[in-house]
Amino acid sequence: MSKNSSTRPFAGFEWAIAWRYLRAKRAEGGVSVMTWISLIGISLAVFALIATLAVRSGFRSDFIDTILGANAHVTIYEANYGTGGQRLGITDYVAMADRVRGVDGVLRVAPAIRGQVMATANKRNAGVEVYGETLEDLQTLPLVAHPETAQGALADFNDGVAIGSGVARELGLRVGDFITLISPDGVKTPFGTSPRISDYKVVYIFQVGRSDIDRTRIYMPFAEAQSYFNREGTADELEVSVKDPENIEALRIPLLQAAGERAYIWTWRDSSGGFLRALQVEDNVMFVLMSILVLIASMNIISGLVMLVKNKTRDIGILRTMGLSQGSIMRIFFISGASIGLVGTTVGVVLGSLFAIYIDPIFSFVDGIMGGGVWDPNVRYLSHLPAKLELDDVLSAVSLSLFLSFVITIFPARRAARLDPVEALRNE
């Protein structure tokens, strides 16, 4: 091979030499130990990145799904006040509901009564929020009609109340027991307003998966709630569900126009905007931190290639005198480093994907080893550790890892290509 002959980039012999260098033993001038350290480091870094992104996506998805499945996407109120400044609620709620149902994209409209009371049973007390709805409307609320777990029958709703699993646990209640609700805004007498105290049979216990909902929510038949909260002939609000809750802002004006000039609305983004912004900030911070971890792992490739170049200085001189160009030398060592990054990334993607897919049994195993109690839903709001493997997250992790691995490999590869063959052989 003459010095002036040109070779095709990434020719077969370049791959063969690079592979020989990678698998060479220490005694032969190779750096197999450093190669393994680099490969394991990148694999673990990519695994951690994908696992973090999957859990992050799972948190956001479960959080939003629970919000949308157990709450209204839009709540409509009416600025309607009496002569004494007392809020009257929505007096013509049937007609308003019919108008709102006519808006394109609306799936569900449910008049509701809402109030906060004290619940007591078995000498225990808890502050709860009561929602008054009809059985037909409650059956169209996804996470209440089809919760994670349930006791009793929702069909018996008109005979009592439905309570969250956290309320049942805190008050020691089961299906068939009675719960006492105490409202300070009760019956008006000549001596003032006396608290309203009523007993209700528990006919249904549900668990939607969010601690703040399961611990505080009670559903009461709509007509009974009107009577209990002194709302005869009115509704406090209209609960609205839509086809595309992610694009809820596009329906704000049509809903206001349908509801009437005194109406105002509150969307799920308004109520949960703080949580969503916090999740977004956490997403960005975690991605940056995990990216730094991948960068640190990729730096091991430089150490390995620098040692490889130093050990193979004599070989580089011989290859150059045989006619290999600087480009061929550079590509040989680039292939060596890039191969480590490619294999490490592949292993990391497989491990990260398996972790996201089988997170439940893995977490159950860890929870068993730690003696239970690792995950407290009262603190984290969700009843389990979620993970959702998304293609965009995997592609982001792969792109970042390969980009860093390839770029970092260029520097020691260029150093090897610029070695003077005469000096290399002379020093040997």
Determine the pLDDT at residue 36: 80
Could you tell me what percent of the chain has a pLDDT over 90? 37
Give the mean pLDDT of 68-82. 84
Determine the pLDDT at residue 26: 55
- What 3 state SS string does the chain have? CCCCCCCCCCCHHHHHHHHHHHCCCHHHCCCHHHHHHHHHHHHHHHHHHHHHHHHHHHHHHHHHHHHHHHCCCEEEEECCECCCCCECCECCHHHHHHHHHCCCCEEEEEEEEEEEEEEEECCEEEEEEEEEECHHHHCCCHHHHCCCEEEECHHHHHHCEEEEHHHHHHHCCCCCCEEEEEEEEEEEECCEEEEEEEEEEEEEEEECCEHHHHCCEEEEEHHHHHHHCCCCCCECEEEEEECCHHHHHHHHHHHHHHHCCCEEEEEHHHHHHHHHHHHHHHHHHHHHHHHHHHHHHHHHHHHHHHHHHHHCHHHHHHHHHCCCCHHHHHHHHHHHHHHHHHHHHHHHHHHHHHHHHCHHHHHHHHHHHCCCCCCCHHHHCECCCCCCCCHHHHHHHHHHHHHHHHHHHHHHHHHHHCCCHHHHHHHC
Q: 5 pLDDT band (50/70/90 cuts)?
A: very low
pLDDT at residue 14 greater than cutoff 80: no
Determine the pLDDT at residue 148: 86
Q: Which two tokens stand for residue 357?
A: 């897919």
Determine the pLDDT at residue 258: 93
pLDDT at residue 264 greater than cutoff 80: yes
Q: 372 pLDDT band (50/70/90 cuts)?
A: low
Query: Could you give the angle at the alpha carbon of 113 between the alpha carbons of 207 and 102, nearest 5°?
Result: 95
pLDDT at residue 3 greater than cutoff 60: no
Please choose, from the candidates 156, 72, 135, the residue with its C-alpha nearest in 3D space to the C-alpha of residue 107: 72
pLDDT tens string 233-261: 899 999 999 998 888 889 999 999 999 88
Q: Give the range among 123-127, 187-191, 199-203, 287-291 with minimum mean pLDDT.
A: 187-191
pLDDT at residue 422 greater than cutoff 70: no
Average pLDDT, the chain: 83
pLDDT tens string 332-352: 888 888 888 898 899 999 999
Q: Give the range among 100-109, 231-240, 261-270, 371-380 with minimum mean pLDDT.
A: 371-380
Q: Give the range among 14-23, 68-77, 282-291, 369-378 with minimum mean pLDDT.
A: 369-378
pLDDT at residue 428 greater than cutoff 60: no
What does the domain layout of the chain look like in residue ranges? 12-65+276-427, 80-261
Q: Give the range among 19-28, 154-163, 255-264, 339-348 with minimum mean pLDDT.
A: 19-28
Determine the pLDDT at residue 1: 44
Residues 369, 232: Cα–Cα separation, whole Å: 56
pLDDT at residue 29 greater than cutoff 50: no
pLDDT at residue 377 greater than cutoff 60: no
Please choose, from the candidates 279, 258, 325, the residue with its C-alpha nearest in 3D space to the C-alpha of residue 78: 258
pTM of the model: 0.68
